[in-house]
Amino acid sequence: MSRSAATTTLITVAPTGAESAKADVPQLPTTLDELVETAVRCERAGASMIHLHIRDGEHRPTLDGGLLRASVEAIRGSTDLIVQLSTGGSVHDPLEQRLTVLDAEPDSCSLTCGTTNFGDEVFLNPWPFMVELYRQSIEREVVPEFELFDLGHVHALRRLLAEEGLPFGGRAHVDLVTGVPGGMPGTPAALLAAVALLPEEVTSWSATGIGRTHLPILATALGAGGHLRVGMEDNLVFAKGQPVRRNDELVTRAADIATTLQRPPMTTTEARELLNIKRRNAS
């Protein structure tokens, strides 16, 4: 299957991330109730996928298997969003534990195609880890989203697809993450260079701009036929002097801009078809 021109927009919301502290950002959704409420609001606003990091009782990032499973089930029980679990976790999570995320049976999982400097830290994704995670995602029928933070990651994805074949479901969806200090910059030129180098197996791509790069990247992605990821994982400022109060504000703005550009938000059903997501029953 090849990439066809997008007439609608897949909007992914990344509501929490692993980097911001609840003490600094009290409006960050960190409890299960807050996550479910966020998911419901964001679906209503036009999101069709949620990229999920979870927190423990003290609002610290965790990869606890029971909490992950409970979060997947709760969001599945309240929305039709595609539930994508982060396998990136926080920069402090061990690789072995990051592989256990798939035990929670998400619809999708992130799969970052290389190591990157991440501010003052290192986000580790060695080749053998990528391959192992990819093989497990195929075995468990989970659709990966390839997260590419740098041009080198685009090349690593090419190698992964050439050596290991297509993902479960036969589609290859990418998110180009720009503007991380240490990765490719959040500029139209960098984004378009990465898009130009995507392997032909890639059937759809979205883009993320961290911090103040989120709007130029959003506009560039829409203009170039890409999809969008927004949310408080990536950006905490709605406009100058105006913090983001809720994730759905970002989804609503993205949906409005996409609609103005004649690329209205996809329904969850359309997004499931685009990524060929396996139907799993809500419990």
> For binding to ligand KMH (CB under 6 A), which residues are involved?
17-18, 86-88, 90-91, 110, 112, 118, 123, 147
Q: With CB cut-offs between 5 and 8 Å by kind, which of Zn ion, ligand KMH, none does residue 228 bind?
A: none
H runs (alpha helix) in 141-278: 151-164, 188-197, 214-223, 247-260, 268-275
- Residue showing tokens 């029980």: 77
Cβ closer to ligand KMH: 17 or 114? 17
The answer to the question of residue 8 lying near Zn ion (CB under 5 A) is: no
* 3-class secondary structure, 52: strand
Stretch that binds Zn ion, among 85-93, 163-171, 191-199, 274-282 (CB under 5 A): 85-93
The minimum distance between CB 93 and Zn ion, in angstroms, equals 11
In whole angstroms, give the CA distance from residue 203 to residue 45. 25
CB 11 within 8 A of CB 227: yes
- Using CB atoms within 10 A of its CB, is residue 137 exposed (0-12), middle (13-18) or buried (19+)? buried
Stretch that binds Zn ion, among 67-75, 82-90, 195-203, 217-225 (CB under 5 A): 82-90
**Closest CB to ligand KMH belongs to which residue?**
88
* 3-class secondary structure, 91: coil
The answer to the question of residue 86 lying near Zn ion (CB under 5 A) is: yes
Cβ closer to ligand KMH: 8 or 175? 175
Give the number of other Cβ atoms within 10 Å of residue 52's Cβ.
Answer: 28
Please name the residues in contact with 74: beta carbons below 8 A apart, sequence gap of 6 or more. Answer: 32, 35, 36
Which run of H or E residues covers position 83?
strand 82-85
The answer to the question of residue 84 lying near Zn ion (CB under 5 A) is: no
**Distance between first and last Cα of the chain:** 33
Cβ closer to Zn ion: 8 or 112? 112
Q: With CB cut-offs between 5 and 8 Å by kind, which of ligand KMH, Zn ion, none does residue 167 bind?
A: none
Cβ closer to Zn ion: 54 or 218? 54
Give how many residues touch Zn ion by CB under 5 A: 1
Q: With CB cut-offs between 5 and 8 Å by kind, which of Zn ion, ligand KMH, none does residue 87 bind?
A: ligand KMH
CB 194 within 8 A of CB 151: yes
The minimum distance between CB 112 and ligand KMH, in angstroms, equals 5
The minimum distance between CB 49 and Zn ion, in angstroms, equals 12
CB 15 within 8 A of CB 41: no
Cβ closer to Zn ion: 85 or 194? 85
Please name the residues in contact with 172: beta carbons below 8 A apart, sequence gap of 6 or more. Answer: 146, 161, 166, 199, 201, 202, 203
- Residue showing tokens 């499931």: 272
Q: With CB cut-offs between 5 and 8 Å by kind, which of Zn ion, ligand KMH, none does residue 133 bind?
A: none
Stretch that binds Zn ion, among 58-66, 84-92, 197-205, 208-216 (CB under 5 A): 84-92
The minimum distance between CB 135 and Zn ion, in angstroms, equals 21
Chain residues in the site for Zn ion (CB under 5 A): 86
